[in-house]
Amino acid sequence: MHAEVNVSPKNPLSFQIRAAAKSLRPLLRSGALAMTPAQAPAILSYLRRWKLSVGAILHMGALRYPDRLALVDDLGELTYRQLRDDSVNLARAMMDRGMGPGTAFAVIARNGRGIIEPMAIKALIGSEIMLLNIGASPNQIEGIVEQNDVRFLFLDEEFLPQLPEELPGVQLVITHLEDPTDRSGLPAGALVMSDLVAAGGTTPLARKPEQGRIIIMSSGTTGLPKGILRDEPKTPATLGAITDRIPWRRNMVVHQAASMFHAWGWANVIIGLVTGATIITQRVYDARRCLDQCERYGVNGLVSAAIWLKYLKEALDEDPDRRVGPFEFIISSGNAIPGWLVTELTERFGPVVCNFYGSTEAGLTAIASGEELARMPETAGRPAIGVRLALLDDEGRPVGPGEVGRVHTTQELTFKGYLSPKDTWRTVDGMFEIGDLATMDENGYLYVCGRSDDMIIRGGENVFPREVDELLGPLPGVGDVYAHGVNDDDLVAQMHLYVVRSEEPAGAALTGDYLQEYVRRHLASWSVPDRVFFVDHLPRNAAGKVVPRSLETLERVEA
């Protein structure tokens, strides 16, 4: 169905202009556009020169808030002035070494300056950036480098073992050293990013470089990941659409666990920096350390994912006297947050848990504000400002309220296509099919049932494994859980359940029979898992999503 702001417009340009105008008020409220009359000419000059990019925003931040902390990462603290200066020094050092407009470079790095500074030099130089998944295999890295003529590869030292044996013509730049005093394990000729920042360069920045592409690689685990083409934002309309539902305000202190090499993580870097926030992050998420950082720096916003919020809740359950918050928002994205977790976090922190729903290709689709999610913990939210969204059946016809349809959507930052012409996608009326199945109620609230390829049919009924996850997640003894639809050799759909026992006594007492009976009592009979496996952990990617292909490689005990 089409919600009010999502009806297919006769004039798409007019639709976007109206959306941009509508987003202006939340932008002003957020403080993202705050500047003095004396600062305005310089800020407009930065935007004309580098567009709404990380490089431009760092210059804006250094002008507006020079001595405010911009970043706290595993290596320490950087003010806006320091982060701007470090990025300019890195850009000039790389230009001395041959990087220029259109030069392709790739990044494999965890959260921190090791990924933010390469993001910045992309715009300052006009080069082309490719953000690779930190789990990329040697074959994938080799294929991406060869296909795209990658000249420079920025990567954390820990990912050196993932490189192919040879990468001819590629200059390695190490973004994070395991031990800053020990470089004995680095390949011959590898550069270290901190050295380049300290030394700077002699080549001046171009006055107005032609902007190269942003390529975000999908999370594929076999074959070459899809390269998803994006541009720098042309307007701040998407920023306004986000701040319309999520109360970003000027000069917040935000802990970001969302991976910056994903589109959602990159977006929050831009939002945080343009609002003058202090961004606090970790290379590897640790809930107890996150609580320490919240207390030390006065964190009042969290950008996270369901699994990390679950770990945070568990850490607080073990140490309930920790003084964290109050939070203006706790954003979950990347993987559906279960309703029970929303409820428990809301009981502790108030109606501040927000849900962001979208995809790397489609960009922003729907947002549930804290008050909306408190009332309706299962919703993905309403379509955001500037989003066209429709739920369509297999023939491309709109479905009615409460009926399941395929999610189709588009907005200003919907991707421009895939890097390889071999990769195709489906659109209807200019809207991209995300790959999810969902329903929408009479009031325009979206409810995601699951991935279209996860749904199984049993006894003539559509079964969504996520319903089982939602049911069993809060059970005592369940540390982590994942239901998965599979086909056996006879092509008969089955439901497999993977469970991680918690360390409490209830975990040791869990049995497969109990879990199957619990599902039978609370859901329809066709949702009962056929097989139950107990595992030590679930294989999750950097966005917190379970990787189904890796389930078969786990050591598991069938109940």
Q: What are the helix and strand counts (H, E) for the chain? A: 17, 28
- Whether the CB-CB separation of 387 and 265 falls below 8 Å is answered with no
Q: Name the pLDDT band for 458 (thresholds 50, 70, 90).
A: low
Calculate mean pLDDT across residues 526-535: 89
Considering the domain architecture, whether residues 448 and 377 belong to the same structural domain is answered as yes
Q: Is residue 322 part of a domain?
A: yes
Considering the domain architecture, whether residues 519 and 393 belong to the same structural domain is answered as no
Q: Is residue 462 part of a domain?
A: yes
Q: Residue 429 to residues 389, 397, 400, 424, 433: CA-CA distances in angstroms?
A: 10, 11, 18, 16, 11
Report whether pLDDT(529) > 60.
Answer: yes
Q: Is residue 251 part of a domain?
A: no
Considering the domain architecture, whether residues 308 and 433 belong to the same structural domain is answered as yes
Considering the domain architecture, whether residues 425 and 293 belong to the same structural domain is answered as yes
455 vs 205, higher pLDDT: 205
Considering the domain architecture, whether residues 505 and 398 belong to the same structural domain is answered as no
Q: What is the pLDDT of residues 39-63, one digit of tens each?
A: 999 999 999 999 989 999 999 999 9
Considering the domain architecture, whether residues 366 and 308 belong to the same structural domain is answered as yes
Q: Which of 72-81, 333-342, 353-362 has the highest mean pLDDT?
A: 72-81
Q: Is residue 131 part of a domain?
A: no
Q: What is the pLDDT of residue 547?
A: 82
Percent of the chain with pLDDT over 90: 62
Q: What is the pLDDT of residues 238-291, one digit of tens each?
A: 888 899 999 999 999 999 999 999 888 888 999 999 999 999 999 999 999 999
CATH number at residue 359: 3.40.50.12780
Percent of the chain with pLDDT over 70: 92
Q: What is the pLDDT of residue 222?
A: 44
Domain boundary among 429, 453, 477: 453
Distance between CA atoms of 366 and 376, rounded to whole angstroms? 14
Q: Is residue 111 part of a domain?
A: no
Q: What is the pLDDT of residue 452?
A: 74
Q: What is the pLDDT of residues 173-200, one digit of tens each?
A: 999 999 999 999 999 999 999 999 999 9
Calculate mean pLDDT across residues 356-370: 90
Question: Which of 201-207's residues contact partners 24+ apart within 8 Å by CB, and which partners?
Answer: 201/89, 201/91, 201/92, 201/93, 201/94, 201/95, 201/96, 202/92, 202/96, 203/92, 203/95, 203/96, 204/92, 205/88, 205/91, 205/92, 205/95, 205/124, 205/125, 206/101, 206/125, 206/126, 207/49
Q: Tell the residue number behind the tokens 């500074």, with chain if given.
A: 117
Distance between CA atoms of 88 and 82, rounded to whole angstroms? 10
Considering the domain architecture, whether residues 319 and 449 belong to the same structural domain is answered as yes
Calculate mean pLDDT across residues 133-137: 86
Q: What is the pLDDT of residue 4?
A: 34
Domain boundary among 438, 453, 468: 453
Calculate mean pLDDT across residues 348-377: 93
Considering the domain architecture, whether residues 315 and 380 belong to the same structural domain is answered as yes
Mean pLDDT, the chain, whole residue set: 88
Considering the domain architecture, whether residues 535 and 549 belong to the same structural domain is answered as yes
Considering the domain architecture, whether residues 438 and 362 belong to the same structural domain is answered as yes
Considering only 68-77, 248-257, 265-274, 359-368, which range has the smallest mean pLDDT?
A: 359-368
Domain boundary among 453, 483, 500: 453
Q: Tell the residue number behind the tokens 């279209």, with chain if given.
A: 452
Token duo for residue 345: 């976090």
3-state SS, residue 156: strand
What's the total number of domains in the chain? Answer: 2
Q: Is residue 206 part of a domain?
A: no
Collect all residues with Cβ–Cβ distance below 8 Å to 99 and sequence separation of at least 6.
Answer: 105, 121, 125, 127, 151, 152
Token duo for residue 41: 């000419």
Q: What is the pLDDT of residues 531-541, one digit of tens each?
A: 999 999 998 87
CATH number at residue 510: 3.30.300.30
Considering the domain architecture, whether residues 447 and 463 belong to the same structural domain is answered as no
Distance between CA atoms of 299 and 291, rounded to whole angstroms? 9
Give CA angle at 365 (364, 370), nearest 5°. 90
Q: Is residue 232 part of a domain?
A: no
Q: Which of 33-42, 345-354, 516-525 has the highest mean pLDDT?
A: 345-354
Q: Is residue 446 part of a domain?
A: yes
Q: What is the pLDDT of residues 11-26, one digit of tens each?
A: 555 656 666 677 777 8
Quote the domain boundaries for residue 547.
Answer: 456-558
The DSSP bridge partners found for residue 78 are 71
Distance between CA atoms of 392 and 556, rounded to whole angstroms? 39
Considering the domain architecture, whether residues 294 and 429 belong to the same structural domain is answered as yes
